[in-house]
Every structure is written in structure tokens, then in C-alpha cells.
Amino acid sequence: MLNLRHIAGTMALALALTLPALVAKADNYPSRPVKIIVPFGAGGPADIYARIVAKQLETDLHEPFVIENRPGAGTTIGTEVAAKAAPDGYTLLVASGTQAVNETLYASKGYHLMRDLVPIAPTVETDLVLVVNPKLPVKNLKELISYAKAHPGKLNFGSSGAGSNYHMAAELLKNLTGINIVHVPYKGSSGMRTDLLSGQIQMSFDSVASAAPKIKAGLLRALGTSGTKRSAILPNVPTIAEAGVPGFQATLWTGFMAPKGTPMPIINKLNSAMTAVLKRPDIKAAWAKQGATPFIMTQPEFAKFMQAQIDKWAKVIKDNHIALIK
């Protein structure tokens, strides 16, 4: 009994000594530049929105937040670098739906997302839009589904690569409707868009911001957007759920993570700072013009959201018998 009391007392003393140090560490954070690893190439949505948030964090927290692009292997290269970094708050990672998909899609990685990293805060959410070449004889989503069922394996859909948001949105559509359409992966979205316009492929999901000008010019036909409510940029286009596929939802989202073991006071400080940025009226207005919405959650809410995303896409990959990347 005395030994147990001694151990309990020792643990309580250690906790009492540690907590003030952690609080002090968060109060002084950051005291030097913070590196943000973006596991995508420069100029893409994840990179652009990360830079916007980083610039404002520099102003608010009085230290540089430096973007380092580490693309490759479907985000797994940059993500692994971040997962193995020192857990001191000075290396952050931009996370996205791609990493949630990769937890199942990649048979072997040098990390596990929710084991080796901790979610901090989400950043942005934007809808996708399902578009078809106008030569395809369908005017709406129900007609597309009927056409696909009447011509199994004849329709090709493009994506910017295996596991990308565009790929998985189409796989979810297959999963919920039972249609048989063929995936044509590209190395990036440019080739996908070119071949869709020329009719080499018949359909794809794309970002609302990228597709809207072509839709309005009549070069593409929009059948549905991927969120839970209509896009402000394409208000006349129904959501896919509204157009006849209940439960469909597949948005493009990004957020921030840090190496596991990063002190929670620092994680919470970053969440608060990022949330303050996302609540700015000028940020909300500027992003709305691009069809994007600031994505705000507490740290526990974001962690729960990320796990739910991993589970959602794991089911789609399993149900659709998608080949794993080794």
C-alpha cells in the first residue's frame, strides 16, 4: 500500500511539474520559423490555401510559416517526412482527403496517418462537379445512370490519378448506383480536362472553380455537384444527392496535422489561430468567389472527421474491389 501511495505521489508530482512547462512552451510558441510540408506540387488547391493561411499565421503569431512542397507517390512521400519529424510544433503537414484514401489504397507505407500524426484543424472545403462531354446523349444524372446501365463498361471517367478526389468521387457514385464505368487515371488534372473536352473520355469529376467557366461556355454539361447543398458558383446545378443519389457527398477538403507527440497546448494554440484566420470576413468572401468555404472545427471534431473519412473510403475501396498500390 505504501509503495502504491509513493508511486501515485511521484506521478502527481511529475504531472504538476510538467504542466506548467507545457503551458509555458505554448505561450512562447512559436519562437522560430515553422515549416509546413505540402505533399502536393506548387500551385494546386492544397498549396494555394495553405499559403493563404500561412501568411496570416505569420502576421498573427509573429514568426515565419514556411511552405515546403514535397510531392510524390500520391502524397505519401511528404506525409512520411512529416510523420517522422520532431514533435515540437515546428513541422506541420497539410492533410487532405487524399491521405484519408491512402490509408487503405496503399498496401505499404512508412507511417499510419492517425497513429503517427495528430489532427490540428481543417482549412477549406470545396465542392466537386460531375461533368460530361456534351456529345454524350444525357441531360441529367438519372439519364446518365440509365445510359451507363444500358452500356456497362462503355463509359470512361477520368481522374488526376488513383486515389485522387476526382477518382474516389466517381468510385462512390459507382458504389451507390451500381453502374459500371471505367477509370482512366492521368498524371494530373490537365490531361483529364483536355481529353474530356475532346471526347476521348466521356465524364469526370472536377473542382467547381476549374469546371465552371467551361460549363457556362457550353463546353461541358454539369449533372450535379458533390456537396450537401448547391454551389454558390453553380446555383442552377443540383447536388448529386438532390438529383437522385441519396447519401452522396464527396468534397475536396484540406487541413493541418503535426507529428504525434506534439504538445497539446501547441496543437490547441494552432487550432485557435487557424480558426481565427478562417473566421475573417475577407477570407470568407474571397474563397466564396472560388467556390470554397472555410472549414472550421475544434481539434477533437477534426480528429473524428478524419477517422470517419478514412473509414468511408476504406469501404468504397473494398466494395469496388479497387486494386491496392504496393
CATH assignment of the domain containing 114: 3.40.190.150
Q: Which of 225, 245, 273 is the last residue of a domain?
A: 225
Per-residue confidence band for 188, with pLDDT thresholds at 50, 70 and 90: confident
Q: Which of 225, 240, 270 is the last residue of a domain?
A: 225
Do 111 and 46 belong to one domain?
A: yes
Per-residue confidence band for 3, with pLDDT thresholds at 50, 70 and 90: low
Do 46 and 121 belong to one domain?
A: yes
Domain count, the chain: 2
Per-residue confidence band for 26, with pLDDT thresholds at 50, 70 and 90: confident
CB atoms near residue 311 (< 10 Å): 12
Which residue spans within 100-208 are E strands per DSSP?
117-126, 128-132, 156-159, 182-185, 203-207
Domain annotation covers residue 165: yes
Domain annotation covers residue 21: no
Domain annotation covers residue 300: yes
Cα of 61 vs its chain's centroid, Å: 25
Distance CA 82, CA 269 (A): 19
Query: What pLDDT does 326 receive?
Result: 87
Q: Which domain holds residue 205?
A: 128-225
Provide long-range contacts, Cβ within 8 A and 24+ apart, for 106-109. Answer: 106/74, 106/76, 106/163, 106/324, 106/325, 106/326, 107/324, 107/325, 107/326, 108/326, 109/76, 109/79, 109/80
Query: What are the tens digits of pLDDT across the range 58-69?
Result: 999 999 999 999
What residues pair up with 158 in beta bridges, in sequence order?
184, 204
Domain annotation covers residue 12: no
Domain annotation covers residue 4: no
Domain annotation covers residue 109: yes
Do 195 and 279 belong to one domain?
A: no
- Residue 77's H or E segment, with its range, is helix 76-83
Query: What are the tens digits of pLDDT across the range 261-292?
Result: 999 999 999 999 999 999 999 999 999 998 89
